[in-house]
Amino acid sequence: MKVSVSFLSSKNIPNDLKKLDNTDADYIHVDVMDGHFVRNKTMPFSEMKNIHKYTSKRLEVHLMVDEPEKYIPLYAELNTEYIIIHLELDKDIKSLLEMIKRYSIKVGLSIKPNTPISALVPYLPLIDEVLVMSVEPGEGGQSFIENTPNRINEIRDLLNEYNLKVIINVDGGINGNTVKKCYNCDIVTSGSYIINSDDFQEKISSLR
């Protein structure tokens, strides 16, 4: 199991990123929120682009924004492995996925807890990762939604049916207990469970 760490709940981002750089975390999960697609808003790119000063780890950028086309070129400049957009956008999803691919960056598609899994089907051949939201996106510290494992299993069955090698990542409420329910995933994304602890590496290890 790979572990991606979100710093959304961090009170001291530079310090926490430096600490994460000394762990075996696989990715830094960058939550980008515009205050429209979700209620909350994160720091502007002018500040976010300084992440590289504090960590050398690859980034997984989760765009919770109404206009991802404005953000994709910016985050493509960073040490980014994945850029993830939301399936629920009122946009031409296929064009946005193709835009990310043009930057030679892996493509992710995120799905909210109440969106039918079947809505993913047209896009599965175009993506590298499905990010399954196990909380409502936009706010850290929420509790894991209990039917999430069923949704993960449904996605895994779809991928097997179409013989597609797409990574499944689950994001939200991930801790030492809920991770056991996510055995069918390839990556788990955890935030407050790690960031609010005294020992980042111990918490990361408990998720593997």
The yes-or-no answer on residue 128 being catalytic is no
- Which CB contacts under 8 angstroms, 24+ apart, belong to 180-185? 181/144, 181/148, 181/149, 182/134, 182/148, 182/149, 182/152, 184/149, 184/152, 184/153, 184/156, 185/1, 185/132, 185/152
Annotated catalytic residue within 31, 66, 92, 186: 31
| b/e map 102-118, b = 16+ CB within 10 Å | eeebbbbbbbeeeeebe
The yes-or-no answer on residue 92 being catalytic is no
Annotated catalytic residue within 16, 26, 128, 171: 171
**If phi over 0 gives left and psi between -120 and 50 gives alpha, with beta otherwise, what is residue 176?**
alpha
Q: 3-state SS of 112-133?
A: CCCCCHHHHHHHHHHCCEEEEE
Count the Cβ atoms, other than its own, within 10 Å of residue 101.
15
Q: Could you give the residue numbers annotated as active site?
A: 31, 171
